[in-house]
Amino acid sequence: MGDINLVVVGSESVGKSALTVRFLTRRYIGEYQSDTDIVYRHQTMIDGEQTNIEILDVSTGKGGDSLLTDKQIRWADGFVIVYSICDRGSFNRLRDLIRDIRDIRASENNHHHGHRDQYNHYSMVIIGNKSDLEHRRTVSTEEGKALAATLECPFAEVSAADSYHDVAKPVQGLLRTVHDTKVML
């Protein structure tokens, strides 16, 4: 059973760092350094097995997406794809982001034909963050659900500011999915 690598990705200021730190420490600080990529190492029990997790909290350029390199996309077993429910642009940009991930993973598939599943399996979860800011909402819950449905992946609205459990549930779900897939391969 190998380690599990997760990438947290999405537009600037959607709360990628807040979500990552909340998941790892159960705390919310409020201000986060976001100008460099940070890899956190973490251990957790999955199915009674001690599992090493690495979580890449991707930096964001000014006004844009986090820029994932091909290498980072290949490194990942799972993607935590984040937008903010009060930032429509961050939601609209997810389609391109996810297409990029799929394109890279599909091209990788060609390199490793014969071992395709083993090399190419990955899972995603879509997270709409900042659910505490209901009064500033510009993306409806239905839209988030609909996007996740077209991608056939889980979806959750969460508040990194308000709740550890909000955040932990979908991230743990993703870890479990990745773990179960690796066990099957």
Where does this chain bind ligand GDP (CB under 6 A)? 12-18, 30-32, 34, 60, 129-130, 132-133, 159-161
| DSSP per residue, 133-168 | -GGG--S-HHHHHHHHHHHT--EEE--TTT-HHHHH
Nearest distance from residue 124's CB to ligand GDP, in Å? Answer: 17
3 state SS of 11: strand
Residue closer to Mg ion (CB basis): 69 or 107: 69
Q: Which of residues 18-47 bind Mg ion (CB under 5 A)?
A: 34
Residue closer to ligand GDP (CB basis): 60 or 123: 60
Residue closer to ligand GDP (CB basis): 15 or 144: 15
Q: Which two tokens stand for residue 44?
A: 């957790």
Applying CB under 5 A, which part among 10-18, 44-52, 128-136, 168-176 lies near Mg ion? 10-18
Residues in contact with Mg ion, counted by CB under 5 A, come to a total of 3
Length of the chain counted residue by residue: 185
Distance CA 96, CA 52 (A): 30
Q: Write out the E strands in the chain.
A: 4-10, 38-46, 49-57, 78-84, 123-129, 155-157
Residues making contact with Mg ion (CB under 5 A): 16-17, 34
